[in-house]
């Protein structure tokens, strides 16, 4: 009923190249299977450079984003560390008051109007 040869997969996976080549020469079903595999291999080889190029461009984009983030972090850290007023004013658990902003305040901490 089913006269189609099913040895190709077994020889391809478990056999060596010489046995597979000999069987392909003798079997027309396996020749068709080998032609299909060659077409798929050609398509993969054609697409491979495009995928490599996409990976490289993605890596360049990640590197650029990381560089910008690092530059932003370092510049912000430098401003906070070099500016003594900001460093002394902004501490953990401390809030800025009107006096910190340089506005005239009375003894209650409200803006004084003279």
User: Quick check: 81 and 87 in contact, CB under 8 A?
Assistant: yes
Q: What local confidence, expressed as pLDDT, does residue 1 receive? A: 43
The average pLDDT across 60-81 equals 86
Q: What is the mean pLDDT of residues 90-102?
A: 69
Find out whether 22 and 45 touch, Cβ atoms under 8 Å: no
Please give the Cα distance from 11 to 88 (Å, whole number).
76
Which is more confident, 93 or 64? 64
Structure tokens at 69: 């983030």
Please state the pTM of the whole predicted model: 0.42
Coil, strand or helix: which one is 27?
coil
Using the structure block, give the residue that is written with the tokens 């209650």: 108
Question: Each residue of 16-54: pLDDT tens digit?
Answer: 888 888 888 888 888 888 899 889 888 888 888 888 887
pLDDT single digits (tens) 81-91? 666 565 565 66
% pLDDT > 70, the chain: 84
Q: State the Cα–Cα distance between residues 39 and 81, nearest whole angstrom.
A: 63
Tell me what the pLDDT averaged over the chain comes to.
80
Residue showing tokens 């997969």:
9
What are the φ and ψ backbone dihedral angles of 34, each rounded to 5 degrees? -65, -40
Read off the tokens for 105. Answer: 């305040």
Q: Tokens 């008051």 — which residue? A: 97
| Cβ atoms of 93 and 105 closer than 8 Å | no
């Amino acid at each position: 009923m089913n006269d189609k040869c099913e040895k190709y997969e077994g020889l391809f996976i478990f056999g060596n190249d010489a046995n597979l080549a000999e069987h392909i020469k003798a079997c027309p079903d396996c020749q068709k299977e080998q032609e299909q595999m060659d077409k798929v291999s050609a398509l993969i080889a054609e697409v491979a450079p495009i995928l490599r190029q996409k990976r490289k461009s993605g890596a360049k984009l990640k590197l650029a984003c990381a560089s910008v983030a690092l530059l932003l972090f370092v510049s912000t850290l430098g401003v906070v560390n070099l500016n003594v007023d900001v460093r002394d004013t902004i501490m953990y658990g401390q809030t800025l008051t009107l006096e910190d902003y340089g506005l005239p305040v009375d003894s209650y901490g409200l803006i004084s109007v003279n």
